[in-house]
Amino acid sequence: MERAFASKVARRAFYTVCVLFLASYLGSRFFTHMDFALYGYMVGTVVFIGGFLYRFSAWADRPPTNIILKKGLRLLLRKSTPQTAVDHLATYRFIWNRGWYRWTQHILLGWGCILSALVTFPLVFGWMYFTMGDNGTYTVVGMGIDLLQVKADGWIAFLFYNALNITAFMVIAGVCMALYRRLKNWQARAEQSFLYDFLPLYLLLFISITGLLLTVSNLFLHGFGHPVMSMIHQFSVIVTLIYLPFGKLAHIPFRPMSVFARNYREHYAEQEMKHCKVCGEQFVSAEQSGDVIDVLQENQIRFETAEGFHLAELCLPCRRKYRIFRFTGIPTHHRSEKEANQHAKG
């Protein structure tokens, strides 16, 4: 099987599409409950998966990330993993430290996109659908199994009907908060660009507005303009799915990898810390420092100093002072004074 594919990416893409095909076949009860009105979304999703696998493989095959993935997988059963996963993937606690405004913005955007995906993808691949009974109830079917029955006019059914409308309002609110910050915050304005920072927000905003217009057309305009708006909305979703793996929005599906990195740092920090060769302060784990040296040597990058130690064995302040020494010739890295703005926020 190794020789049957042109690359690892091709093999992973083939296996993933096979799993999707099998899951759709079983989940839709042998393709008897496929919604072909969602065919375009299915094609866009398959293209997105191919692009994501290409991007992820290119990222995972790099020596530094390969080390974190391998060691992170071995540490996945740590007792702290559930709490770390909640902090990084659910509550975004690490963003709360930057301020309530950015935390609220990320909660609205992140969970708006995640919940939309959790609703859309099962419908697209036939993993979830609804059947109507004669007694005014809907049967919710998941992976070919009848999960529960809900009243057609009940509040649970109302949430099912309007799930994407609710997430659309969440995304619109989050996008507006992000745009306001990017236009008003001077640091953000100095660092951002249109294609990388603004375009993803405009795409999410366009998807959410056109999706809400479909509901407006059905409820208030008796279906006027629905076919045209449906095609516009579908086209915008497909374009965004194709763009997603290669732009800033890629950090959404990449986010679970942060749990691996956190486990890696915490576990080896508990084992042994590395002391800076100059000031003697602890700054990273001995394992991480050794991994950095090994990766640099593997790539034939040498950062040995004249004193005989490696640059990765210095803490960040001493490393910066050593770089000044290399430019000026003044041994600033041997001075004990710390930087005045070492812990400055900016």
Supply the mean pLDDT for the chain: 86
Range of the domain at 128: 2-258
Q: Using one digit for the tens of pLDDT, what is the confidence trace for 52-91?
A: 888 888 888 888 888 988 998 899 889 999 999 999 999 9
- Kindly tell me if the per-residue pLDDT of 336 is higher than 50: yes
CA distance 20 to 18: 5
Model pLDDT for residues 190-242, shown as the tens digit of each residue: 788 888 889 999 999 999 999 999 999 998 998 899 899 999 999 999 999 99
**Residue 339 falls within a domain, yes or no?**
no
Q: What is the pLDDT of residues 99-121, one digit of tens each?
A: 899 999 999 999 999 999 999 99
The structural domain count of the chain equals: 2
Domain assignment of residue 263, yes or no: no
Q: What is the pLDDT of residue 325?
A: 79
Same structural domain, 11 and 46: yes
CB distance 295 to 303 below 8 Å: no
**224 and 300, same domain (yes or no):** no
pLDDT in tens, 164-174: 999 999 999 99
In Å, how far are 279, 288, 321, 331, 339 from 335, measured between CA atoms?
9, 26, 9, 8, 11
CA atoms within 13 A on the CB side of 176: 8
The helix (run of H) or strand (run of E) holding residue 129 is strand 128-132
Buried b (16+ CB within 10 A) or exposed e, 12-48: bbeeeeeebeeebeebbeeeebbeeebebbbebbbeb
Regarding whether 36 and 77 lie in a shared domain, the answer is yes
What pLDDT is attached to residue 1?
64
Are residues 178 and 31 part of one domain? yes
Quick one: 157 and 278 in the same domain?
A: no
Closest CA to 214 of 224, 203, 201: 224
pLDDT tens, residue by residue, 33-50: 888 788 889 888 888 888
Specify which of 209-213, 218-222, 318-322, 323-327 reaches the highest per-range mean pLDDT: 209-213
Closest by CA position to 221, among listed 237, 233, 229: 229
Task: Give pLDDT tens digits for 128-166.
Answer: 888 887 778 888 888 888 888 888 888 888 998 899 999
Tokens of 29: 């009860």
Of 235 and 331, more confident? 235
Strand partners, 130: 140
Angle of helix 81-89 versus helix 257-271 axis, rounded to 10 = 140
CA-angle at 78, arms to 76 and 80, nearest 5°: 115
Query: What contacts 164, CB < 8 A, 6 or more positions away?
Result: 116, 119, 120, 211
What is the C-alpha radius of gyration for the chain, rounded to an integer number of angstroms? Answer: 25
> Is the same domain home to 227 and 317?
no
Q: What is the pTM of this model?
A: 0.82
Q: Domain ends where: 230, 258, 286? A: 258
H-type alpha helices, the chain: 8-27, 39-60, 63-74, 81-89, 93-96, 100-124, 155-161, 163-184, 186-191, 199-220, 226-243, 251-254, 257-271, 286-298, 316-328
76 contacts: CB under 8 Å, gap ≥ 6:
260, 263
Task: Look at residue 144 and give its three-state secondary structure.
Answer: coil
**Residue 241 and residue 279 in one domain:** no
DSSP string of 284-319, one letter each residue: EEHHHHHHHHHHHHHTT---B-TTS-BGGGS-HHHH
Same domain, 157 and 203: yes
The answer to whether position 159 is within a domain reads yes
Query: How much of the chain, in percent, has pLDDT values that exceed 70?
Result: 95
Evaluate if residue 339 carries a pLDDT over 70: no
How many residues are there in the chain? Answer: 346
212: closest CA among 249, 260, 163?
163
Token pair in block for residue 328: 């000026």
Shared domain check, 61 and 166: yes
Q: Quick check: 175 pLDDT over 90?
A: yes
Domain boundary among 223, 258, 293: 258
Instruction: Give Cα separations from 54 to 45, 48, 61, 89 (angstroms).
Output: 14, 10, 11, 23
Pair (300, 205) in one structural domain: no
Residue type, 137: T
Query: Are 151 and 54 contained in the same domain?
Result: yes
For the cut 60, the answer to whether the pLDDT of residue 341 exceeds it is: no
